[in-house]
């Protein structure tokens, strides 16, 4: 049977509301690979043949889950929160809890049947992993530099400096790998060249955008610039 799955996503967990024949089945899962696996087992226990899952576009919290569901051959939609809010107003919905939001998204999906999200290619996922690793190391590097400024013990300072040196070397190698991956992929390279033609966008910003933004939704470089906020506009009062 065909079912709809509303997902209210958060950083650490997500609420899932499965709607089958006007009946809801609700459960909370951790936003981890283990949680994803438990979701799949839960769906199998409900004996559904196919599922149309839907979640709001709220940063990157739901991206890995969306990819997991797509890999399971489920239809997945990622929608603008404003669309769900408008639907809630039309339904005169008043309750505002994670569970209620998941139910609302399931109803929204059943009634409006939003378009199916297309997951990124394997190459883009690999690029995203490299970019994420780079960002994590940068955060650690900032922390270590802050510790070095506050540390008075010379021996501890020596260890911190060694760690900083290692982090800087790893970052250099990671950034080189990121650029090589972009240059070797014709599609990524073409988009990278387009992005860097926009004033204010350099190599690092471009790599992050390539890893996270679906460019198929934009019709021009101007729309991309407006979306990321580097396209200033005149405003008279």
Number of domains in the chain: 2
For residues 178 and 154, membership in a common domain is answered with yes
For residues 20 and 78, membership in a common domain is answered with yes
Residue 154 lies in a domain: yes
pLDDT, one tens digit per residue, over 154-189 is: 999 999 999 999 999 999 999 999 999 999 999 999
Q: Name all contacts of 161-167 with Cβ < 8 Å and 24+ positions apart.
A: 167/137, 167/140, 167/141
Residue 234 lies in a domain: no
- 49 CB-near residues (< 8 Å, 6+ apart): 1, 2
For residues 108 and 128, membership in a common domain is answered with no
Question: What predicted TM-score, i.e. pTM, was given to this entire model?
Answer: 0.71
Residue 117 lies in a domain: no
For residues 91 and 133, membership in a common domain is answered with no
Residue 208 lies in a domain: yes
pLDDT, one tens digit per residue, over 193-227 is: 988 888 888 888 899 889 887 776 566 666 666 65
For residues 143 and 185, membership in a common domain is answered with yes
pLDDT for res 235: 47
Local confidence band at 1 (pLDDT 50, 70, 90 cut-offs): low
Its domain, for residue 179, covers 122-228
For residues 76 and 99, membership in a common domain is answered with yes
Q: Which residue has the higher pLDDT, 85 or 159?
A: 159
pLDDT, one tens digit per residue, over 31-42 is: 999 999 999 999
For residues 13 and 99, membership in a common domain is answered with yes
Q: What CATH code is carried by the domain that includes residue 16?
A: 3.30.420.40
For residues 104 and 80, membership in a common domain is answered with yes
Q: Looking at residues 103-119, what average pLDDT do you find? A: 92
For residues 67 and 106, membership in a common domain is answered with yes
User: Which of 93-107, 128-142, 209-223 is least confident?
Assistant: 209-223
For residue 51, how far is the Cα from the chain centroid?
Answer: 21
Q: Which residue has the higher pLDDT, 229 or 73?
A: 73
């Amino acid at each position: 049977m065909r079912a709809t799955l509303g997902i209210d996503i958060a950083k650490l967990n997500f609420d899932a509301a499965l709607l089958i024949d006007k009946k809801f089945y609700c459960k909370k899962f951790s936003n981890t690979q283990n949680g994803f696996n438990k979701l799949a087992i839960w769906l199998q226990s409900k004996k559904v043949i196919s599922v149309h899952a839907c979640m709001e576009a709220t940063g990157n919290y739901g991206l890995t889950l969306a990819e997991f569901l797509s890999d399971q051959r489920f239809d997945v939609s990622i929608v603008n929160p404003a669309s769900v809010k408008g639907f809630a107003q039309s339904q005169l919905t008043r309750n505002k809890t994670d569970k209620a939001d998941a139910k609302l998204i399931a109803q929204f999906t059943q009634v409006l049947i939003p378009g199916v999200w297309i997951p990124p290619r394997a190459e883009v996922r690999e690029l995203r992993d490299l970019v994420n690793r780079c960002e994590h190391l940068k955060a650690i590097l900032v922390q270590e530099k802050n510790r070095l400024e506050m540390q008075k013990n010379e021996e501890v300072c020596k260890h911190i400096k060694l760690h900083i040196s290692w982090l800087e070397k790893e970052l250099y190698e990671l950034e080189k790998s990121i650029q090589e991956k972009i240059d070797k992929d014709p599609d990524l390279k073409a988009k990278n060249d387009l992005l860097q033609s926009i004033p204010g966008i350099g190599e690092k910003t471009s790599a992050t955008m390539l890893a996270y933004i679906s460019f198929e939704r934009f019709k021009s470089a101007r729309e991309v610039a407006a979306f990321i906020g580097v396209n200033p506009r005149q405003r008279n009062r």
